[in-house]
Structure 1
């Protein structure tokens, strides 16, 4: 194992307790989104603050420095654990406990204010707390960056070893092809969207069936409703949420498949790593690759939608779709829309580019919070060709900035890019995959992902994780080729 195993064992025992406490903090967040009474927000903010202080104190404990200095790894697992612990410890030492607690408390409060502002279309009521959150994150970035780029310092919290400049270069490579394909598709005839009403309880029934079909272990998880679908937890407690609308069953079904992708990653990690730094996804970009490949390349494939059409007809009866081919077109319909989470595969990354550029400008000081709504609306009109009609369809639609998740948005597009690489490799390895998907059987696809990526958790760095699994250099080219082939075929271009 290691030369000084007792030192390593002491450090890992301490780390496991810290990970358990972080799990408790995560359950507080899950409860806030799903079960917490509306009147409990202030108390929950205090609870978040208290947990943040406890966890911060443990992550900055001086014994960690001593343990790290004396532990000598001789195997890859120990080396990776120590690498992750050292990275987190050094970061936490740069951030004062006071600031960490204030961020936890203020973002908890801001989340409730954002939810009310979104409901009331009240940007002015949201701006004061947003200014405070951005100021706190700027202070954190200054502490972490040590004179470097502020946005990069926050991006590193979610996607290590990348930078805003690298993300911008990736987007520059993606934008021309996506814009040209979007314009061609929108000029073509499109199928009508679903019409009618779909029982929401039946939607949840089917969403649970889909979760099981994609390998979600309900003995160690659960599905609840929330305003914004999300996944939470790791190891033996991984929970997901979805949402329902009587007019749009796809929102529920594909949100569920998406979140199951995240959950499958956490549940697929080798259990020997649970409550260690390797016991959760290595980065948000890699995490998103799992949710995206489940939702899009598998869940929206012609083969799988053929099976899903049959199940929906069994449960909902005749809902106005002629046959499986027509259903495939409806599922993959490209249409104008304001909401990122409802965007089709073709346009989704354009929504991310907008957010990336705006939050990067906020951190550089080129954009002020007071000007954010106007900047959003101007950019949206330029990119999509129509005007934002109300704040909840504009800058108030996402929860991320209210809770200070600056640097989070580009990981969604990284996930799409990584999923493109993984899908190309999977199709090469499983040439008969469609015959299984046509029966609703995803076991070979999920098995391939578990074998080649999920089981390793945080053992490798993010790009290394993708390249090991896909057998190719990480690149946006497989994603662009997949989108081009799919939508030119769908729209007979």
Structure 2
């Protein structure tokens, strides 16, 4: 009886949280710019209601009396206890203020990014960092504050564990990049723009081909692409860039990875604590696997080249093989979301180090642009010419998402493990991709990963799906084989 009463209460809380998420989606896509101040108050009010429910004393009583029956109930109870622990450690006033400030911060960041003016954003970022430090210290209870934030996105992970994994990745990524540079082989570049209407048409096609159910979702445009929602209402956005003709297509494929994950969780878990992805690292494994190992494969790019040829021309590329090389071109660049697979994780490792310094108080917000630019020059050999192509390019810190960035690289590692197992199990995969369909992969992921939602811990879920321990080796082997072939070594 206690379990049933607790779950009914928690489902209502989850439903209210989805309403709050819809407010965030609207803010990024349709809300009039002049409504930002009011929306911030609305978000703070919603957060106050949600915090009160998440820390309701009845939850502790229900948890004490609940007797789980089976793995599903055990997982639900585990997650409710975890959520209650977080809610009771963070003061209600702090939780509401974080919601209010980060809601306002999004708009201020967007305007500062458009103007390429970090100083216009710095005072707001200072408030966000200070509030997140307070939250981190409350959650850490004497431990490492950054680990407490990381745990919000990747339960059980620590900065020390990631340091070890990232330390194994970095030298081989740098060595691979250096071999590509020494090869002196130049990949072709698309020479023409793709009209906006063609880009939007293609985004809908590839979204459907990668398993996105448009009857329970929609595609809109935003400054920074994102996925929002769960269960029966999962929405994505993309960014149209006329001078970066493939960006909208690959950002859409990326977000479809997130969205299809949420759509394919077991419907029995709808609006429950395990009714979403197991972690952000697992979530990113779905999006990065779709975007890269599948979306940039020779098989899928051959189909995409044919579609582009019929709709808008080949962009000066001779054939599908040249298009494959262009879609996988390796070159250092300033923008993380446009980075190739070889450089991408180096972008993440830099952000991981910088945000740890910010949360620890060893790096002041005012000094962030200089720290960013110095580190970027060291890691990529490029000077940062503007704040927009440097420290202002990502939305994450404006939202207070400290601890989120490393889940991108962790997701790449998980994706490497899943891709190796998928290729072992699906000999017909390339034939489907060459026809514009990722259905075999989507079905495999639905069975092995997605339907389970948050039933299993993140690493346990990946190991169950692949039959092997989590390791960075499959990712590195895939990158070295793929780009060795493309660049002739």
> Fold match, TM over 0.5?
yes
1:36 maps to 31
Aligned: 1:21 with 2:22: no
CA contact (8 A) 1:45 1:108 kept: yes
1:73-112 CA-to-partner distances (Å, cap 9, x unmatched) read 0200000000000000011000000000000001111111
Matches within 5 A, 1:14-163: 14-163=9-158
Task: Decide whether the 8 Å contact of 2:21 with 2:228 is kept in 1.
Answer: yes
- Pair 1:305-2:297 in alignment: no
Matching of residues 38-437 of structure 1 within 5 Å? 38-187=33-182, 188-437=184-433
Q: TM-score, normalised by structure 1?
A: 0.98
Q: What is the root-mean-square deviation in Å for CA atoms of aligned residues? A: 0.8
Per-residue displacement from partner, 1:185-211 (whole Å, max 9, x unpaired)? Answer: 133222232112211111100110111
Instruction: State the 4+ residue runs in structure 1 displaced beyond 6 angstroms.
Output: none
Contact 1:269 1:279 in 2 (8 A): yes
Higher mean Cα deviation, 319-328 or 30-39?
319-328
Task: Provide Cα deviations, 1:136-180, integer angstroms capped at 9, x if missing partner.
Answer: 000001100011001001001100001011111111000000001
Query: 3-state SS of the aligned residue for 1:275?
Result: coil
Secondary structure class of the residue paired with 1:239: strand
8 Å contact from structure 1 (residues 195, 247) kept in 2: no
SS at match of 2:388: helix
Q: Is the 8 A contact 2:305 2:314 kept in 1?
A: no
2, 5, 10: which is aligned to 2:5? 10
Superimposed CA distance per residue, residues 441-491 of structure 1 (whole angstroms, 9 cap, x where no aligned partner): 211111000011100000000101111111110111100000000000001
What is the alpha-carbon distance in structure 2 between the residues aligned to residue 362 and residue 368 of structure 1? 6
Measure how far apart 1:319 and its partner are: 2.3
Note the C-alpha offset of 1:432: 2.8
CA distance in 2, matches of 1:168, 1:244: 35
- Choose 416-425 or 125-134, whichever is displaced more: 125-134
SS at match of 1:238: strand
SS in structure 1 at match of 2:220: strand
**d(CA) in 2 for partners of 1:256 and 1:121?**
25
- State the shift of 1:285 in Å: 0.2
Name the CA distance, whole Å, in 1 between partners of 2:454 and 2:247. Answer: 31
**How far off is 1:214 after superposition?**
0.8
Q: What is the distance in 2 between the residues matched to 1:303 and 1:240?
A: 25
Question: Is this contact kept in 2: 1:303–1:434, CA < 8 A?
Answer: yes
TM-score (norm 2): 0.99
Q: CA deviation at 1:365?
A: 1.9
SS at 1:240 equivalent: strand
Give the deviation of 1:247 after TM superposition: 2.3
Question: Residue 134 of structure 1: CA displacement?
Answer: 0.5
User: Which residue number corresponds to residue 3 of structure 1?
Assistant: none
SS at match of 1:391: coil
Alpha-carbon deviation of 1:318?
3.8
The alpha carbon displacement at 1:55 in A equals 0.3
SS for the counterpart of 1:392 is coil
Segments of structure 1 that go 5 or more residues without pairing to the other structure are 1-5
Number of residue pairs matched by the alignment: 488
Provide the C-alpha distance between the structure 2 equivalents of 1:478 and 1:191, rounded to a whole number of angstroms: 25
Q: Deviations over 1:265-302 (max 9, x none)?
A: 00010100000011100100000000011111111001
Task: Report whether the alignment pairs 1:450 with 2:482.
Answer: no
Structure 2 stretches lacking a partner, 5+ long: none
Contact 1:259-1:291 at 8 Å conserved across structures: yes
Answer whether contact 2:235 2:259 (CA < 8 A) is retained. yes
Change beyond 3 A, Cα 1:318–1:305: closer
